[in-house]
Chain A
Amino acid sequence: MQSNFPRLVKRLSKIFIYILVILAVFLSIAPIVYLVLTSFKEPELTFVIPPVWSFTPTLKNYKEVLSSTDFNKYFLNSVITALSTTAIALTLGTLAAYGFSRFRFRGHFWLKMSSLIPQMLPPIAIIVPLYVLFSRLDWIDTRQSLIISYLTFTIPLCTWMMIGFFDDVPIELEEAAMIDGCSRFGALSRISLPLVVPGMAATAILAFLYCWNEFLYAVILTGRNARTLPVIITSFMTNKSVLWGRIAASGTLVLIPVLIFALLAQRYLVRGLAKGAVKG
C-alpha cells in the first residue's frame, strides 16, 4: 500500500500533464476549427447565438468566393510570387550561410547579425519609397515588384536558418574531400549540400509561408493583376457589410498549404530557427 503511493502520484501527474497538453492543443486549434466550420455554414447561421454546432454543411460560401473573384488568377499569383521568392532567397541564403558557417574572419559575428537588419525594417517604413521606385520603373501591380520586396525578409530568414543546419555538418567531411582533390565548392555541392537537404526543405517551407501570408506589401503594391490571396480575403469587408461566410471560406482556402506544411515540417522548422546563432 505504502509503496504504491509514489507510483499513484506519478500516474496522476502524468494524467495532469496530458490534460494540460490537450488544453493547449485545444486553445491552439479551436479558432481555426471555428473558421473552417463557419465557412461551411449558411451565411445566416454565422451570427446565431447560441452558436449552432450541428448544421448541414453547404458549399455556398465557396461557390461565391470562386465565382465573385478571379480566385484562380490570384491563387496563381500567390504561388508564383512565393515560389520565385523562395527559390532566389534560398539560393542566396544557403551560399551566405555556408560562408558564415565555414569561415571565421574579422567582424564575422557582427556581419552575421547585420544580415538581420533588413528583417528589422518595418515594412510600413519602406513601402512608400518602394512604391515610388516601382512606379518609376512602371512595375506597380506586377509580380516582380512583390518578389523583390519579399526578398528583403526572406534572404535574412534563409541565411539565419541555414547557418544552423551547416553547423551540424562536421567540417571534417569536407576536409577529407578536399584532401582527395575536391575544390571547396565541389566539397560544398557534393558533400555538405546533400546533408542539409532536410534543413533546406524546412527553410524553404518557412520562407514560402512568410510570402504566402504577407499582406501589407501586397495590398499596397498590387492592384487587379498581381494581387495575392490575403488581399482577397479583406476584399469581402466593405464599408457597408462584412461578408463573414466568404471571409471564412477564402481564409480556409488560404490556410490549406499552411496546414499541410505544418504537419510536414514541424520537426525541422524549430531546430533551424533555434540554431542560427546559438552555435558559435
Chain B
Amino acid sequence: MNLPQSQVSNKYRRLIRKLEPAFYIAPAFVVLTVVLLYPLGYALWLSFHEWTLRTFKQGIPFIGFQNYTDLFSNPDFLNSIKITFTFVFLAISFEFILGMGLALLLNQELKGRGLFRSMILLPMMCTNVVIGLIWRLLLNYQYGLVNYYLGRLGILPIEWLSSPKVAMASVVLVDVWNTTSFVALMLLAGLQSLPDEPYEAAKMDGASELQSFFFLTLPLLKPIILVTLLWRFIDTFRIFDVVYLLTAGGPARATETVSIYIYRYGFQSFNLGVAAASAFIMLLIMLVFAGLLARSIGQEE
C-alpha cells in the first residue's frame, strides 16, 4: 500500500522541482504578456487594414498585405530606414572608439576617480527632453555657444541643425555626448574584471602595449563588447525624443529615423495602418539584428 503512494509523491516531487523555476520567472513574463498582448495584437490588426481619417467612420477595410507592400515602394520609408542605419552605424562607431579610450583612461590609477566617473556618467542619466533642448540652444546658428566659440577660433558659423548635410552629424554628436559614458563605463567594468596573468606572460614574451591591447584586451572583452553593442543597438535603432526635439526629422527628412517616420504617419496624417505596418517592419529588423547579437553572446557563454 505504501509503495505506490511514495512513487506518486516522488513523481509529484519531481514535477514540482521541474516547475520550480517557473514559479520565479513566470510572474514577470505573465505581466509583460498581459500588458503587451492587446497592443501588439491590435497593432497587427491595424497593419492589415486601411485606417485613415477618411475610412474610420465607414468601417475600416481589410487590405491584406497592401500596407506592407506599399511601404517597400515608398521612398520616404526607405529613406527613413537608410537614415536609421546611418545613424546607428555612425553613433555606435564613435561611441565605441571614444568610449574605449575613456575606459582605458579611467582604468588608470587616478586620484578622485569616483568623482570623475560620476560626472562622466551624468549625460547618460539626463532627461532626454532636457538633452534635446539644451543642444538645440547650444547649436543654434545665431545665438548658440558652439558657433560663438568656434568663431573665436576663427571658424565660420555652421548651420548645425538647419543644413541637411550637417544635421545628421549634429544628431550623432548629441547622441555621442549622451551615451559615450554608458559605453565607457560598461567597458571599464569589463577592463576591471580582466585577469593579470596573460598580460604578465605577454610582457615576458616582449609584446608591446599596443599588441597586448589588440591581441589580449579586445578578445577578452568580447563578451562585454557584444552586450554593450546589443544595448546600444536597441536604443539607437528606435531613437525618437532627442532627434525629435533637435530637428523633428528635418531638414528635408535628413534626420527622419523610422520612429519619426511612424510618428509622422500615425500622429500627423493619422494613417494608422501604414504606421503599424512600418512599426512591424522595424521590429522585425531589430529582432533579426538583436537575435544575431544574442547568438554571439550565447556562443561566448
Contacts and interface: CB of A to CB of B under 8 A. Distances in A.
Interface stretch (B5-13, B36-44, B69-77, B200-208): B36-44
A213 B266 CA distance: 23
B234 A109 contact: no
Contacts of B58: none
B105 A17 contact: yes
A215 B272 contact: no
Interface in A169-226: 184, 209, 212-213, 215-216, 220
B290 interface: yes
Nearest to A100: B25
A108 to B, nearest CB: 8
B119 interface: yes
B125 A125 contact: no
A273 B231 contact: yes
B186 A129 contact: no
Interface residues of A, number: 92
Given A24-B120, A96-B28, A255-B126, A126 B241 contact: no
Given A98-B24, A152-B32, A266-B114, A132 B42 contact: yes
A128 B265 CA distance: 12
Nearest to B123: A28
B105 A27 contact: no
Given A50-B148, A99-B21, A32 B240 contact: no
Nearest to A184: B20
B129 interface: yes
A101 B181 CA distance: 28
A262 interface: yes
28 contacts: A21-B116, A28-B122, A31-B131, A88-B31, A95-B27, A96-B25, A96-B29, A113-B294, A121-B238, A122-B240, A122-B286, A124-B259, A124-B262, A125-B279, A126-B279, A129-B46, A151-B31, A152-B32, A184-B20, A251-B130, A254-B130, A267-B114, A270-B186, A273-B231, A274-B186, A274-B190, A275-B189, A277-B301
